[in-house]
Structures are given as C-alpha cells and as structure tokens.
Structure 1
C-alpha cells in the first residue's frame, strides 16, 4: 500500500465510532471473562454464540433507552406474577437474560476504556451499507482469509493446518496441476503407518528441495516450487510483521497480485482486494496490539455474524421483557421416539447433480480401491456426497485435528482404560480419580493440538463432565464387555465390511452394542432418526447402529448377535442431564441398510464418485466450484 494511503487510514482510525470488528472484539472479551458457572458460558461448540445475541440485545437497549435495572425489574415482576413453583425452564431463561443485560453494563465500561462511541449512541445511527460483511464472502477474499488462517494456525499449533494447505495449493495463482496435489496427498497418507511419517507441508518442501536422483528424474512443477517458497517465507514473516505489511507480502509472494493483473476481471478483483487491504489496515491502526491469530478469529466471527444478524429479528414493544425474552426462551425440542412397524421405501441413492471433477488414472484408481472395505463412516460419507467420499476416503486428504476431535479422542481413551483396568482387576472399576487422570494424561500428550485457551477450557470441562458421568453410571455399568474391538474381513453379500466398536456388553452370546458420543445430545435427534420423509436414507447415527449390527452378526470368528444398539452421550444436555439412546433394530432396518451398503459398493466399484451431490451447503461441491475444478457441472 502507498505511504499516503496508509497515513490516510491512520487518520481515519482516529474516528471515535466503534467499528464492526471492534464491536465483536469487545463481545469476545466479555465472553472470555465469564467465570465458571456463568449462565452464558459455553465449553463446547460455538463458544462465542452469545456475541450475536449481545449485538441484538445491546442495540435494542440503546435504541429504546432501556437499562439493566429496568429489565431486571420487569423480570422480577414477571416471576412474581406466576402462580405456584417457578418452572426450571423459566428460571433458566430469566437467569440468562439477567446475565446478558448485566454484560451490557460491562460493555459500556469497555467502550469508555477504548474511547469509542457506539453507532447506537449517536443521534442518528448510520446504515450498514459500508460494513465489510459482504466483502468477506467474496470467493477471492475467502481464499486470502484461508491463507491467513493457515499462517495463524502455524503460530497457535506448529506444523498444523495441512487440510487448509490442501485447498490453498489449488489457488489459480500457483497454477499447479490438480493431479500433482493429489499425488502429494496420497503419499502423505501412505506414509502415516511407516517410519517416514510426514505432513503435506514437509513433503512439499522435501520435493522441491531434493536434488534429482538422475537425469531421468521428472522436474518438479514450477507451481509447487512457487507455492512452497511462498508458504515458507510467509510462515517466517507471520509472527513479527505488522498485519498490513504481512497482507501485502502475502499478495506479492503467492502471485495473487500478478494473477489479478492478468485477469480479464482485473478492475473488479483489484477493487475488492484493495478494499480488503484497506479495511485490515484500518483495523490494525485502531488496534495496534492485534496479532494474526486475533485477526483471523475476529474475521471468522464477523463472517458468521453477518448471517446471524440478518436472520434474527427483535420486535420492539413498549415492554423490554416482551422484546428480549424470545431470544433466551428455549424452543420446544421434539422428543426422540422410535416408531415400530415402519414400512421403509426401497433404497434410493439420488443421482448426483453437482460438479464433476477429472478422473484419476485407471491404474491409480485400481490401486486405491484394491484393498477397500466398507465402513460405517465410508457409507455415510458416500451417501452424503460422492465427492466427500473421494476426497476424505479415497485419496485421504489431511484430516483436521481440531479441539473437538482431540477432546473426543481423550474421552474415548479414558473410557477404554477404565474398562480395561476393571477387566484386569477382578471386575472392579478403578476410582474416579484414576479415570480422570487417564483423560488428563491423554490431553497433555496431545497438548500441541490445542491453543493454550482451548487446552485449559477443554481440560476443565472434561474433568467436570467425566466426574459427573462416572457418578451417574458407576453402579450400573456391565462388567462382561469387550472394548475397542476391531472387526475385519466380514463379508456380506460379497461386500467386505470393517469397523471398530467402542464397547459390546454381553448376556451370553447376545450383545448390546455401545457407541460413545461427545458433543451436544440435543443436536443429535436428526442423526438418530430412521428413514422418513425428511431424511429418506435415515440419520447417520441410525445407519451406524444398523451397520454395526450387520458387522457383528456376520463376524465369522464369533457367534455373537446384537440385540440392541446404544448411543451413550458422554456430555450432558443443557440441563446437566446425561442421556443414553437405545435402539432395537428391526429386520426391516437391517435389510434396508444392507441394500444401502450393496448399492453404495456397486457405485464405488463403478467409479461413480467424481460427481458431487449438488447440495447448496456441501463443503466439497463448494470447494470444487470455488477452485474451478469442475469439468462438466450439472446444474
């Protein structure tokens, strides 16, 4: 950026009006300061969920002139008007609303400390046509932000972010043939079970720096050299370079600037990129202490908030409680029920209508499918989108190890050790402290997979929920079990099946199959549902349960029969209650999933995995379209 442009933005940064990014930054500071037990504190999922509601609540309070004292008075009056004992649900939502309006007062304090004026404090609030939300959804800007996220991930967790690097290598400015990227990904995956384990970034660097073995060694594509050189240089610059300068270096080193200058859409692309760089410079001037991890965190929250703020509406009656209560009152959730005697329709795996990518070479196809066996995950992925199967199962792109997956692995490890120690101790379970220590030990061994904030939050949360979980079930756990059992070489109508089951509880040869689930049980209802009008092929969890029954019942080394399947939710619901959902699988359900298995297997053997599902929210169809990998799109 020219010096004059930079200085003009510095002058703009003196304007006292709070920017959208600053506002979200204040919301995150409020949320990060929530103490343990705060009604609005979240330990899992979207921990900054309250930021969207803060925007709405604080805005309407300012426009209407409502104070926290007024709203608390109206809450007290409402509770006093109720007859009989106050329902727990009412106590919960009123406590949350009280907590939110209390944070309004804290927000006002932060505004004063920042020396900013909220737009709602001005006599006439300006419109939001100038905000950057729409810009953040531009395809080119999305790719630039993804690259910033990749650089930030390396600062938080060294050598992480391979799943982002896979996408970034497809950038048109690198001009790398897609097959070259696929070859790298497959080699990384093949090395995972050898002594030569590596990452996509390390393998890329290895390829471009290794001397030719002989005169006949193929030259490394220039695009790979350019990508590796740019990435390594930017990683070196990321930690100590001011954000505006880092962004400009990014555009230059990757070749994005050159790509734009040669594009037929040069003027449009230049305008968008310049708007984005100007915006980042403005925000960096407003907050000189902002580093790259904080920037990408706020950009992510802004992109999400743009959709949330436009989808939630607050009506403004005279009574503040009437306006704000709907934001915190719980929505009625339908109870999960199993309907008997359901007449399932024939298997219908829809013909894909999404983008189509280039085929692999036949020899490579055959190699990748040579030892392929169907698992529950494979079946679910293929039914969701054939491209998801292609990328995640067939060529095996790097799998993101985020805080949720690592936390889930730590929980599974602790449960496995709990039952193995019981089996080696005359069927007596170890004390709760031993159980918790196994969880803590796993978390510490994987500490490099978490940011410091993520590690501390997940560790404290796991200690609490596992302690209560142990107390809930210690006196009812079966001791006749097998845990973390691998099943291989199971043939069902010519289809090889495989799987790993968390736990089987036995009564003779009859077994109750148990699968542990981490995450919010309230959000699992659709995934547990059998086939119906809304989900014709059934939910993922339902299909997993039936698949595992088929797997165990056909296991040639044992004569076990699964009589029920149970999903054991390790984390409590929002009311602190633990749940187990037991399914008694019918012969009709077994027949249906068997047909799904056979149909999916046949499609895979026919190489019908190069065309996407076409769903508007499909990540892989979006990826193929965004990076222009589609050969024959079917709209």
Structure 2
C-alpha cells in the first residue's frame, strides 16, 4: 500500500471527482471496502525499502487505521518468504463466471409489459445487458450518490431559473436561483459527507452564477423544460424520456439541450466509428432525443443539439458541446434502437460486459463464488 499513487492504478470509470476532497474520500471508501472483503484474516503490507532515496511510507489510510488502533508505533512484522508464496498462490484461484439464473418467461414478460426504451436504457444495454436487467427489468433500487444528488439540485435550480420565460420573457433573479439550489441541497443533506457537502454547495453556487451571467442576455422566447415524451414510437418500438430543455426558435425549428454537472469529457461525445462502434454516451443520448422529439413533433426540425456543462473546463469556463444530428448518425442509432428493443423482448440480457469495473458483473461473480 503506497502513499504516492501508483501510475498503473486507475479508479473505476464510474468514479468522477469534482475536487481533491472528493478523490481523497473516494479513495478512503475504496480502502474501507477492500478491508471489509476479508473473510477470516486481514493482511496489510507495504515495502520497507525501495528504489528512491527515502524509504516508502504506508498510505495515509493505513496510517489513519494504525492510529485508530493505537498501533502507530508498532514494529511491522516481517513475513517469511514461504508465507508470501502461499498467499500469492492462493490469489490465483479461478475467477467465477458471470451467471444469473433466468426468471420464468412469463415473469419477465410481465415486468416488461409497459416498458418504453429511453436514452438511459439504450445506453445501459449497449454498455452491459446484465446491468440493464438489474436496473431496468428488476428495477433494483440504489441509494442516491452525492454526485447524483448534486446534479439533481443543479437541474432543479435551472428549471426554476427558466420557468418564468414563457409568461414574462425573463428569468428568475440570480439570488432566487441560488436559493432554490440551497433548498434542494438541504433536502438531500443526508447523501453527503460533511466536507463534501460544503464544497459542493460552494461549487454549485459559483457555477450557477457563472452560467447565469453567461446566458442572461441570450434568452429563448419559448421554452419547454424537463419535457416528457412518453407516447412516441419508432417502427413499433415504444420510446420515452425527459429532455432537459427545448428552445422553440420558431413554429418549425427547435434546439435541444441536456445539462451535465460534470466537467467536459470528450470521449462521451465521440461519433460512432471503427474505433468506437457505438459512439459516446452523450452522442447517442442526443441522437436519441432527436428521434424522440421528431416522433412527437414531425413538423419541427431540430437544427441544433448540445450538452451544456455545469462543471468548468481547464480554463475555468463553462463549456457547451454541439452534436451534429446528420442522417448517417440518425440511421445508426435508429438501427440500434430497434435491435436493442428486439433483444430485450427476446430476454437477451443475461450476459455481462466482463468489465472489472461493472458493479452488476462483479455482484454476479461474487454471488457465484459464494455459492461455490
């Protein structure tokens, strides 16, 4: 266990950090989870010598643990080489396969009776069919994270900010927008560690003020907020979803926007090609939103779609990323929509993605390991 992070180690893709405190806390939680996986004995080790000028030190998390246990001054125990060899050999056990017991066909059909394919469901299935099964068929509830709660508070503040436009052609005053954000954060206080709550509160207010000042002089005249579409179809495939914001530019033209509270991530916007056959998540999402919108408003043209980031880029600015809605991209996503929906109807969702960072694949492996 090293104090300085190993450059070969990468955090799971699902962990994103908006501050140094977030990353440190996530590392601490990861360390805690690792400790709790021990069944009989727990061994914590770090090297006493290395190639540097100074001897290696244990990580801060190990130091904290030793201090809590009153062992900060204890001499580390030297482990005989024979014991180390035995420990290494025991680690090379066969990795359990990803396997989930099929539910009766009638049960799955009942659970899918009112199913409508959304952008989230499409992205989940493409990433991992097994995750789709747990999240969208069984609908296993999960506790909201600090990041998700922060995102909800930011979305609600922006919803209220633009709400007066259609009636008064103006937006909510900045101090009122900030108040909405603070109220929403207070409601979800229990999902945050103390220091993370304070840092997210300040970050949210700072970014909302920046967004407000960037957009207050360029307001749409007609707008649809958190627009729900649940009566759409594509060649018999039932579709549904919520679009964060639709600016109605005229009787025949519309812009589509989706808010993201994370920092800009270029890989999420990649267009489908040979290297990224399904494209990035955000790219697919906006393509899907156009399909959804076209089904409800066949006489309107979506001439622009973009991700509006509420997290600053490297220059300390808020950024927006436009996604081209060309025919080639639309045809690809329409094909995936029909293909994925047919796979869902055929109950083809028991295969995992095999990604070591996938929670549901790991859950399946662990379940099979315990049963064996």
TM-score range, shorter chain: 0.7 to 0.9
Distance in structure 1 (CA, Å) of the matches to 2:154 and 2:239: 26
2:312 to 572, 579, 591: 572
Asked whether 1:404 is paired with 2:154, we answer no
Rate the CA distance shift 1:282–1:143 in 2: closer, same or farther, 3 A.
closer
Displacement of 1:606 = 0.7
- The answer (yes or no) to whether the contact 1:43–1:458 under 8 Å persists in 2 is no
Match of 1:275 among 39, 43, 49: 43
Q: CA deviation at 1:605?
A: 0.7
Q: How does 1:104-503 map to 2 (within 5 A)?
A: 145=36, 270=40, 273-275=41-43, 284=65, 286-287=67-68, 355-424=98-167, 426-503=168-245
Aligned to 1:306: none
TM-score, length-scaled by structure 1: 0.46
Call closer, same or farther: CA 1:435–1:283 in 2, change over 3 Å: closer
Contact 2:222/2:247, CA 8 A, preserved across alignment: yes
Corresponding residue pairs, total: 316
Residue 628 of structure 1 aligns to a residue in which SS? helix
Q: 1:28 aligns to what?
A: none
2:330 counterpart (590, 601, 604): 590
Distance across 1 between alignment mates of 2:300 and 2:279: 25
**Alignment check: 8 A CA contact 2:144 2:191 kept:** yes
Instruction: Return the offset for 1:423.
Output: 3.1
Residues 75-108 of structure 1 show CA distances to partners (whole Å, capped at 9, x for unaligned) of xxxxxxxxxxxxxxxxxxxxxxxxxxxxxxxxxx
- Is 1:545 the counterpart of 2:270? The answer is no
Distance 1:361 1:460, change over 3 A: same
Query: Deviation of residue 461 (structure 1)?
Result: 1.0
Which position in structure 2 is the counterpart of 1:339? none
Q: 8 Å contact 1:511–1:562 — kept in the other structure? A: yes
1:45 CA drift (Å)? 5.4
8 Å contact 2:164–2:172 — kept in the other structure?
yes
**Aligned partners of 2:330 and 2:360: how far apart in 1?**
30
CA contact (8 A) 2:99 2:365 kept: no
For the structure 1 residues 606 and 630, does the alpha-carbon distance in structure 2 shift closer, same or farther, using more than 3 Å as the test? farther
> What 5-or-longer segments of structure 2 have no aligned partner?
5-15, 45-57, 72-96
Q: SS at the partner of 1:47?
A: helix
1:510 to 253, 257, 268: 253
Structure 2: distance between partners of 1:421 and 1:546: 29
Maintained 8 Å contact 1:485/1:503: yes
Distance (Å, rounded) in 1 between the aligned partners of 2:227 and 2:247: 12
Deviations 1:342-397 (A, max 9, x none): xxxxxxxxxxxx72311012222111111111000000000001111011111112
Change beyond 3 A, Cα 1:577–1:288:
same
Deviations 1:316-367 (A, max 9, x none): xxxxxxxxxxxxxxxxxxxxxxxxxxxxxxxxxxxxxx72311012222111
Structure holding more helix per residue: 1
Q: 2:21 — aligned with what?
A: 47
Please state whether the residue corresponding to 1:396 is helix, strand or coil: coil
**Greater relative contact order structure (CA < 8 Å, 6+ sep):** 2
Kept in 2: contact 1:381–1:389 (CA 8 A):
yes
Question: What is the CA distance between 1:589 and its match in structure 2?
Answer: 1.0
Partners of 2:120 and 2:283 in 1: CA distance: 12
The answer to whether the 8 Å contact 1:355/1:630 transfers is no
The 1:464/1:487 distance shift into structure 2, 3 A limit, reads same
Residues 283 and 366 of structure 1: is their aligned pair in 2 closer, same or farther, counting only changes over 3 Å? same
Would the aligned equivalents of 2:22 and 2:196 in 1 still touch at CA under 8 Å? no
Q: Contact 2:263–2:310 at 8 Å: present in 1 too? A: no
2: CA distance, partners of 1:580 / 1:595: 28
| Residue in 2 that maps onto 1:54 | none
